[in-house]
Amino acid sequence: MMTNFEDYINNFFNSFESNSVVEAMKYSMSNGKRIRPQVIFAIAKGFGINEEECYPCALALEMIQTYSLIHDDLPCMDNDDLRRGKPSCHKAFGEGIALLAGDCLLTHCFETIADSTYDNYTKSKMISCLSKYAGMKGMVYGQLLDVENKLAKTKENLFLIEDNKTGGLFKIACLFAMYLGKVEMYSEFELLGSKIGEIFQLQDDLMDVTRSEEEMGKSLSDEDNDKFTALNIYSIDELKKIIEDKFKELKEYTRKLNLDSKYLIELIEKMAKR
């Protein structure tokens, strides 16, 4: 058994023979905050499940997250040069290799779950929700709305974009942990992911204007790209207050879940401080 998640990640990628796509995947996988894996770990711990058991599905989700960031940074999308404290994948390896590294992460993420020791029911449920919320019912759909940028700037449309592009992967994290916990509370855990994702993206929108690129380790380009973000609806102070209120409401909500919510609340409090 691996001792920590970073070793587990490295071990997976070291099993490939080196080439430029493999090196680009390793490069882009490094330095992530691993928030989505931490959500899985925190909920799973509340079910009495140890962290190591979460590694195969947490790796799959972090691979999807990394692929979404590689593609998000491409010149045809947000055109950003800095990611995870380093030049973005296409800046370091070129656009063709970056595109393939994203494709390859997306392709192999299913392998980590399929080859895990989870039972077949858990595997099939995980693969189903991973496909769904990373695709047209989640991340890709949200990215489509973000890139097209033709929706009216209303609160409802802001939620629609953010709940899909960011909520999608947090829904996957919560549902993965639910499947590991062997409980059947789909709508409650889907809603948990939606709530975490919404706050996370509201914070991200806020930090795009209040922090520096050095602090964030990524390009901050929303304004230059004329993106539809929370700042089109709220002032900085209003947004700070909304985020604070939503964090309180989120902590309350965790009581509705059938688990020891101590670890999840600790994580929520950590996220609130960022």
46 vs 167, beta carbon nearer ligand IPE: 167
What the block records as the tokens of 69 is 């960031």
Helices in the chain by DSSP H: which ranges?
5-14, 20-29, 35-46, 51-73, 89-93, 95-114, 120-134, 139-148, 155-165, 167-181, 186-210, 213-216, 236-253, 262-272
Nearest to 39 by CA among 65, 17, 77: 65
- Nearest distance from residue 258's CB to ligand IPE, in Å? 27
Beta bridge partners of 87: 82
How many residues form the binding site for ligand IPE (CB under 6 A)?
17
Contacts with ligand IPE in 47-76 (CB under 6 A)? 65, 68-69, 72
Structure tokens at 3: 């001792």
Instruction: Dig out the tokens for 121 from the structure.
Output: 């029911």
When CB distances are held under 5 to 8 angstroms depending on the partner's kind, the choice from Mg ion, ligand IPE, none that residue 165 binds is ligand IPE
| Among 142, 15, 14, 174, CA closest to 68 | 142
Q: Which residues bind Mg ion (CB under 5 A)?
A: 72, 78, 204
Of the two residues 112 and 166, which places its CB atom closer to ligand IPE in the complex?
166
If one asks whether residue 87 binds ligand IPE (CB under 6 A), the answer comes out as: no
- Report the residue closest to ligand IPE, judged by CB: 33
Which residues, 193 to 252, sit near ligand IPE by CB under 6 A? Answer: 201, 204, 218
The C-alpha atoms of residue 256 and residue 241 are separated, in whole angstroms, by 24
Q: Which does 35 bind (CB under 5 to 8 A by kind): ligand IPE, Mg ion, none?
A: ligand IPE
Which residue lies nearer to Mg ion by CB, 71 or 246?
Answer: 71
- For ligand IPE, the binding residues in 146-165 under the rule CB under 6 A are 165
CA distances from 162 to 16, 46, 54, 110, 252 (A): 35, 27, 26, 25, 22
C-beta separation of 93 from 23 below 8 A: yes
Residue 246 interface partner, choices Mg ion, ligand IPE, none, CB cut-off 5-8 Å depending on type? none
> 171 or 218, CB closer to ligand IPE?
218
Q: Which of residues 13-42 bind ligand IPE (CB under 6 A)?
A: 32-33, 35
- Binding site residues, ligand IPE, CB under 6 A: 32-33, 35, 65, 68-69, 72, 78, 80, 84, 139, 143, 165-166, 201, 204, 218
